[in-house]
Amino acid sequence: MYRYLTYTAFGWFVLSGTAHFSIDVLSHAFQGRHPPGRETTLYYGLHSAFALGQVAFGALALVVVVRAPHVVGTGFLLVSAGAGIAWFAIAWVFIDYRQPTIMAGIFCVLVLACWVARPRWSLVQRS
């Protein structure tokens, strides 16, 4: 169960970041919704950095979970929870609508579920 929760948490982060980028950056750019100017540059910059940061962090975490599952422990989950809280705070403060905030909140809940479901024994056997 723990392994599937970790895959779900970081897979969700990759999926939500990809959806955010495609909906809020690519579709708005293709449709020409924002007139050229400083505000538009800041809009695209904020949303691009927010979404692609989620994708990069989630993909890197998925690689670690798949290739080195013995590394995934309390410290790894604490760093992941901190990143999720940071994305939640950025979305809460700087993004006007609530969907990115909800997506980051779901990631935080999934990381908390991973922490609760983590095995209590050491995965690395010592000789």
**Could you read off the pLDDT of 50-68 as tens digits, one per residue?**
999 999 999 999 999 999 8
Return mean pLDDT, the chain.
Answer: 88
CA distance 76 to 80: 6
Cα separation, 121 vs 124, in Å, equals: 9
User: What pLDDT, on a 0 to 100 scale, did the predictor assign at position 39?
Assistant: 86
What does the pLDDT read at residue 124? 52
Q: How confident is the model at residue 44 (pLDDT cuts 50, 70, 90)?
A: confident
**pTM of the complete model:** 0.84
**Percentage with pLDDT > 70 across the chain:** 94
Residue-by-residue DSSP string for 23-44 = IIIIHHHHHT-S-SSHHHHHHH
pLDDT tens figures, 102-125:
999 999 999 999 988 887 655 555
Cα gap 100→90, rounded to integer Å:
9
CB contact at 8 A, 95 and 101: yes
Looking at residue 121, what is its pLDDT? 58
